[in-house]
Structure 1
Amino acid sequence: MSLALLCSGQGRQDRDAFVLLAEDPAARPVLDAAAAVLGKSPADFCRTAPEEALHANRAGQILCATRALAAAAALFPDGAPPETIVAGYSVGEMAAWGIAGVWSSADTLALVDQRVEAMDAAGGPDDQLAHVRGLARETVERLARRFDCAIAIVNPDRLFIVGGSRPATEAFCAAALDAGAARAAPMGVRVASHTPRLAGAVAPFAKALAAVPAKAPALRLMTASTATLVTRPGQALAGLAAQLAQAIDWAGVLEALGERGVTTVLELGPGRALAEMAATALPTAEVRALDDFRSLAGARTWLKGHEADLPYGR
């Protein structure tokens, strides 16, 4: 039995993403590192940036990684218990590597910035992601090929993320609804992450990763590339880079967490999309998102209340 921390991907960042964290002293080093990259504090950026800037690829990815890193620092000022599993969704995996101690927060955010740069250079100016729910994978794959799109992320409960150009994804969504999808719509993510459209980003990002020293993880770090635990980061970097242009099986990650006996799950946010998926995939686990709580104290109390269920809480 163990605790899993889930780090969210971009798209859910909002004006209040740092309300719980802005004044927390343990989160301050992370927030200061983010300010050095963004040019202003994350809280100020979220509060004042135009909507388009808030959801731009660079800001979105930096903000989401910052939120997870800062939340982990605030909730576990002395470090999370070593048996904790940490996993991340899309750019959230970068935060997961930082939380696990492979990189410092400053190095993690600098790498996120380089990741965005490589992705933006490789992608098309009108690329975007879309979601579709309720169709079989074979149907989604067939429609994606028809409209020159590709599956980017496989989620539980027949929820798929698809990437392509804006006209292609919009046509895909219309066809998916005609085919009986429960929902299908473009997302506010302007990059076709995890699809072959970003093949040109893999080598530059791999070079950036190789240039930063990587420590052995202090927590149990699960990579979405293979849904396995990373013990030698140097050997896992190739997969971390390659996933920019390859589909992620997040449903497989959640299944692997269940197989490893996870009983408690906390999504660090922003948002609670991962918590909702985890609750479906792991029906016997206690699942919450940080955004469910009105204060960090409430989240800490909830975590403390589950210590008796965890092997390191006895």
Structure 2
Amino acid sequence: DGLRVDAVASMLYLDYSRDSGQWTPNVHGGREDLDAMAFLQEMNATVYRRAPGVVTIAEESTAWGGVTRPTDCGGLGFGLKWNMGWMHDSLGYMQHEPVHRKYHHNEMTFSMVYAYSENYVLPISHDEVVHGQQALVSKMPGDWWQRRADHRAYLGFMWAHPGKQLLFMGQEFAQGSEWSQEHGPDWWLLDPGYGAEADHRGVRDLVRDLNGIYRETPALWQRDTEPGGFQWALGDAAEDNVFAFLRYAADGTPLLSVSNFSPVVRHDYRLWAPDHVPAWREVLNTDAARYGGGDVTNPDDLKTEEERITLTLPPLATIWLTPLR
């Protein structure tokens, strides 16, 4: 499928992890490693030329410009770059108790300031869920039900956010323990007869449905690298722990994603919505019973009135709405 290159920053900077006097500036007097740049450019150009259809991904943790810019435009030529900022900010937000999340609201919105500076992949990486970091579901606060709800809501938010998605071993079925290279994922959690297998199967089924709807919904990927493909519907509802945004396909067809990261049901919640869509229907709800949720849903069509829709927000959940056809 391609290549993922680790620790690209350590290659690009001559002074990386070096003190003064331990490195020599390049011919221009800078700290950039020109030989490393040339090597990475040649590697990417060669890979894409010899194996069309594959992808190269850079794990690069600095603000180096042009990691995913084509080599003929002076970039390094990677297909994607890990969005380390999104990963750290969003995981930090989710680890807070819901009552404290309002003080960290910007950690979930800041990624849109730089979302189009590179072609990003949103990584729940191995670095975050092994070596004592805890599995994704185990990072969440609260009891087991709340942890799984947060886990599902976070995945729904992640799949709707601009960028590609990456999960690490076991996160796709809410494995509670850290992954072990000696034992592999805890597949037995899905076995019939295990007491909580429905909990894990529900998350697995959610990930399957997220992928299916994603594939069938151009709004989620067609303009993934264009600022015009995204619009906030509600980005400042810190007191409510609510985030709502629209994704747009090339023909203007939208998808509305709404996340409620508080543990309370919000009835008759009003949101801005474009008036050219007369009505919406719920196509995904991470609180659905089949995923292990409380089944607080919006079964009826939601009409747009004066650029507003009124809906019910389930607790610790993400819902997706598409125009009624």
The normalised TM-score by structure 2 is 0.25
Structure scoring higher RCO (CA < 8 A, sep ≥ 6) equals 1
Report the structure, 1 or 2, having the larger helix content: 1
The normalised TM-score by structure 1 is 0.26
